[in-house]
Amino acid sequence: MKSSEKIINVALNVPVNELFDYLSNGEDIQIGQYVKVPFGRRNLIGIVYSFASSSKVEKNKLKKISYIDSEVLFDKRLLKLLSFVSSYYHYPIGQTIMSVVPARIKQDKSHINRIELLIQPTETLTQEVINALPKRQVRLRKLAQKLLEGPIRQSNVSKTISSPLPLIKVLEKANLCTTLEWQLKSDSLSAEAIPKLNSEQEIVISKILNHNGYKAWLVHGVTGSGKTEIYLNLIEKLLKKNLQSLILVPEINLTPQLESRFIRRFYDKKIVVLHSFLSDRERLKHWQQAKSGEADIVIGTRLAIFTPIKDLGLIIVDEEHDASFKQQEGLRYHARDVALVRGKELNIPVVMGTATPSLESWLNTKQTVEKFDYLRLTKRAISEAKLPSIKLIPYAKDKYSTRLSQELLKAIEERIKKRQQVLIFINRRGYAPVLVCTSCGWTPKCHRCSAKLVYHRQQNKLRCHHCDHQQVMISQCPDCGNLDLLPLGKGTQRLEDELENYFPKASILRVDRDTMRSKKALNDLYTKVNEGDVDILVGTQILSKGHDFKNLSLVIILEIDHALYSTNFRSTERIFSQLTQVSGRSGRALIEGDVLIQTNFPNHPIFHYLKNHDFSGYADLLLEERKQMNLIPYSYMAILTVQAKAFSCVEEFIDKAIAEIGKIKTEVNFFGPVRPTLERLKGFERVQIIFQSNDRNDLHRFLGQWMNAIQNLTEIKRVKFSLDVDPIDF
């Protein structure tokens, strides 16, 4: 078949689950290339997905592809993975593929210089020569002048002269400069002293390395058991075989620390990071370095699982239990689950590390699951370091009192005296979560969400933590005119204020989403803490993971009671893991660590297991509960959320959508319509239908048919909807 006769199936960022047919423009074309095509009145960027010999559309009505880029973005294996992801999460194929294409390519700005040049002046370049250059060539003269001072990196030229490459070429042709590829000099870096492995770590490493091909390894190790050291050893072996490794981390705040540890160990290797704090330009550059094979090690957050990597030999999922691996909008994938599919497809090992496995993985360790293996680390890597002792502290009797109890204050003071650090964990930012009128009980609510506004004292504002609506603080109750408005409860800001009163000489650092807005802020935090510039850290869950603070000996956990009795059945699993993680920050080196938890429910079973550092016991208890209630991981679920500004639009659509369920012969159960906890969000009324089945294939067969049926309903035009497969939030 001549290429001019081929029908080209292109994936486009369009919300229908189909490919679009085009004719070739005569040029050679390959699967995975990115192209531009006419679509309606616009030109869209798409990816060549497949070829066909015929089309549903008449051949004379088919349009030609208008532009073909020479670069193949995705190979067939990655396209196969994306196709699986599209069908598993019931998300349109074109949107699935386009949601993992780097932003700059989608904006059609992909042509960055992949190689950076070092420009060196030749001896011919003199002031006289520059003076003789044409006067009109201002930029050329400027560049030549700069070069006269000495060699310069291309990126530094670009800061003052825009698109300098053609100018550099002109000078090079005139023999006024030479260019060579600029490379990071590694001699200034020193290799990290490699810690000696303990016997448990050695066993884990040799088991993984002695197995060929795909296997999912769950490395379950107590906090501080040296999981990172295991990753480093595995990667080292891969590097010797010239294979690349991909490490997925749950959140951006873990990457700077991990990155620097990797750079210290593999100082002569190319390490790239992929996360949302990067500029689109950097992101594309790193993506291309992964794809070309130039990057030896790729560290990234969830989206990195879709990065094309030339010779991928190992995938590591650090903190596999972490909820941030689940994307909560658009393509709602779970990066850990996609990692397993990708590893299987490439026939390479996937190593999942955690101190608190997800119940899904925990159940896999109990059942004989093919190609799934469980490895345990029971000791802390530094042999003298012990797990911290955990103690429960009751609240003060006066229930409106938000003050820290005497016992807590005394404990903090003791540590400050010893020049040790304290971490206070409170999973709530702002000053106070609720403001209440002491006379009539009125509280300010967001007009766009069914949520209360949070008081932020520094800005003197009330803010919604769901839609980020902000308004000036009020001085008077709008209902009864009372001037006495009482902030109830405590957030990070209030705690910081209070601590400043008690410990005026201490250096206190608040760490939450309001203070940690950039990668730099995170880096600074880590440096400050490790250099001993901080006495007390106050923070949200940002602080609970990964950070290795060697001088930290006391962790205090506040305000967790509400999470113990949440409506989300996953809440206790999550809180246990969070408490384990945050407790694990304490006493990691040679100082003994203590953890104090303030609670009104000391008899809740979670504390019994937490105090005994008994994850297995608690996980088994939770699994038993889930089994009795037939919940995840014993059954499979999906949630359809429908939203619109007018509730009537939602209602009309939901009625029709439920009627369509009845037309399909299926064993799948459904519940609904139900209103989610946040009934209204960002001005949209929301309604859900929840699906549940004991058979994963049944559920997907049903969802496939039903999603097709509801896409054809006319009412769908007036609503927004999303399907969440394997949901984690309810």
Q: Which of residues 601-630 bind Zn ion (CB under 5 A)?
A: none
Interface with Zn ion: number of residues (CB under 5 A):
15
> Which residue stretch of 137-145, 235-243, 466-474, 647-655 sits at the interface with Zn ion (rule: CB under 5 A)?
466-474
φ and ψ of 237, to 5 deg: -65, -40
> Which residue stretch of 73-81, 202-210, 460-468, 563-571 sits at the interface with Zn ion (rule: CB under 5 A)?
460-468
- Residue 453 makes contact with Zn ion by CB under 5 A: no
> Which residue stretch of 462-470, 485-493, 663-671, 700-708 sits at the interface with Zn ion (rule: CB under 5 A)?
462-470
Instruction: Give me the least distance between CB of 454 and Zn ion, in Å please.
Output: 10
Closer of 480 and 674 to Zn ion (Cβ):
480
> Which residue stretch of 285-293, 323-331, 458-466, 591-599 sits at the interface with Zn ion (rule: CB under 5 A)?
458-466
Give the 3-state secondary structure of residue 483: coil
- Residue 462 makes contact with Zn ion by CB under 5 A: no
Closer of 104 and 465 to Zn ion (Cβ):
465
Q: Which residues contact 123 (CB under 8 A, 6 or more apart)?
A: none
Instruction: Give me the least distance between CB of 490 and Zn ion, in Å please.
Output: 21
Q: Which of residues 481-500 bind Zn ion (CB under 5 A)?
A: 482
Instruction: Give me the least distance between CB of 515 and Zn ion, in Å please.
Output: 22
Q: Give the rounded distance of the alpha carbon of 390 from its chain centre.
A: 30
- Residue 695 makes contact with Zn ion by CB under 5 A: no
- Residue 464 makes contact with Zn ion by CB under 5 A: yes
Closer of 482 and 566 to Zn ion (Cβ):
482
Residue with tokens 């204020």: 497
Q: Which of 167, 205, 392, 446 binds Zn ion (CB under 5 A)?
A: 446
89 in Cβ contact with 723 (< 8 Å): yes
Instruction: Give me the least distance between CB of 332 and Zn ion, in Å please.
Output: 22
Rg, Å, the chain Cα set: 29
- Residue 222 makes contact with Zn ion by CB under 5 A: no
Which amino acid belongs to residue 235? I
727 upstream amide cis, omega within 30 of 0? no
Q: How many CA atoms lie within 13 A of 271 on its CB side?
A: 21
Closer of 52 and 480 to Zn ion (Cβ):
480
Report how far apart, in Å, the C-alpha atoms of 385 and of each of 381, 382, 393, 595 are.
8, 5, 24, 15
- Residue 477 makes contact with Zn ion by CB under 5 A: yes
- Residue 678 makes contact with Zn ion by CB under 5 A: no
Closer of 327 and 482 to Zn ion (Cβ):
482
218 in Cβ contact with 370 (< 8 Å): no
Residue 50 has which token pair? 């497949």
Closer of 439 and 635 to Zn ion (Cβ):
439
- Residue 449 makes contact with Zn ion by CB under 5 A: yes
Q: Which of 143, 377, 467, 689 binds Zn ion (CB under 5 A)?
A: 467
Q: Which of residues 509-528 bind Zn ion (CB under 5 A)?
A: none
Closer of 405 and 450 to Zn ion (Cβ):
450
Instruction: Give me the least distance between CB of 675 and Zn ion, in Å please.
Output: 16
**Separation between Cα atoms, residue 72 and residue 31, nearest integer Å:** 7
**Separation between Cα atoms, residue 27 and residue 3, nearest integer Å:** 8
What one-character DSSP code corresponds to residue 386? -
Q: Which of residues 359-418 bind Zn ion (CB under 5 A)?
A: none
- Residue 466 makes contact with Zn ion by CB under 5 A: yes
Instruction: Give me the least distance between CB of 451 and Zn ion, in Å please.
Output: 6
Specify the DSSP element, H or E, that contains 205.
helix 199-209
Closer of 682 and 701 to Zn ion (Cβ):
682
Closer of 405 and 482 to Zn ion (Cβ):
482
- Residue 437 makes contact with Zn ion by CB under 5 A: yes
Q: How many CB atoms lie within 10 A of CB 589?
A: 16
Report how far apart, in Å, the C-alpha atoms of 463 and of each of 111, 429, 445, 457, 594 are.
41, 11, 9, 10, 35
- Roughly how many angstroms between the first and final C-alpha of the chain, as a whole number? 52
What one-character DSSP code corresponds to residue 323? G
- The strand pair at 177-181 and 271-274 is best described as unpaired
- Residue 50 makes contact with Zn ion by CB under 5 A: no
Q: For the chain, how long is the longest CA-to-CA vector?
A: 88
Closest CA to 425 of 280, 292, 535, 542: 542
Which amino acid belongs to residue 183? Q
> Which residue stretch of 320-328, 427-435, 464-472, 611-619 sits at the interface with Zn ion (rule: CB under 5 A)?
464-472
Specify the DSSP element, H or E, that contains 592.
none
459 in Cβ contact with 468 (< 8 Å): no
Instruction: Give me the least distance between CB of 10 and Zn ion, in Å please.
Output: 39
Instruction: Give me the least distance between CB of 482 and Zn ion, in Å please.
Output: 4
Closest CA to 111 of 159, 71, 154: 71
**Separation between Cα atoms, residue 546 and residue 322, nearest integer Å:** 12
Helices (H) and strands (E) in the chain, counts: 22, 31
**Separation between Cα atoms, residue 713 and residue 88, nearest integer Å:** 22
Q: Which of residues 175-214 bind Zn ion (CB under 5 A)?
A: none
> Which residue stretch of 91-99, 436-444, 543-551, 611-619 sits at the interface with Zn ion (rule: CB under 5 A)?
436-444
> Which residue stretch of 150-158, 408-416, 447-455, 500-508 sits at the interface with Zn ion (rule: CB under 5 A)?
447-455
Closer of 270 and 466 to Zn ion (Cβ):
466
219 in Cβ contact with 351 (< 8 Å): yes
Report how far apart, in Å, the C-alpha atoms of 466 and of each of 374, 442, 455 are.
38, 20, 14
Closer of 444 and 539 to Zn ion (Cβ):
444
- Residue 479 makes contact with Zn ion by CB under 5 A: yes
> Which residue stretch of 19-27, 95-103, 181-189, 446-454 sits at the interface with Zn ion (rule: CB under 5 A)?
446-454
Instruction: Give me the least distance between CB of 484 and Zn ion, in Å please.
Output: 9
Closer of 302 and 680 to Zn ion (Cβ):
680
Q: Give the rounded distance of the alpha carbon of 650 from its chain centre.
A: 31
**Separation between Cα atoms, residue 591 and residue 532, nearest integer Å:** 15
Instruction: Give me the least distance between CB of 442 and Zn ion, in Å please.
Output: 4
Q: Which of 6, 469, 675, 718 binds Zn ion (CB under 5 A)?
A: 469
Contact characters 560-579, Zn ion, x per CB under 5 A: --------------------
> Which residue stretch of 152-160, 215-223, 439-447, 689-697 sits at the interface with Zn ion (rule: CB under 5 A)?
439-447
- Residue 480 makes contact with Zn ion by CB under 5 A: yes
Site residues, Zn ion (CB under 5 A): 437, 439-440, 442, 446, 448-449, 464, 466-467, 469, 477, 479-480, 482
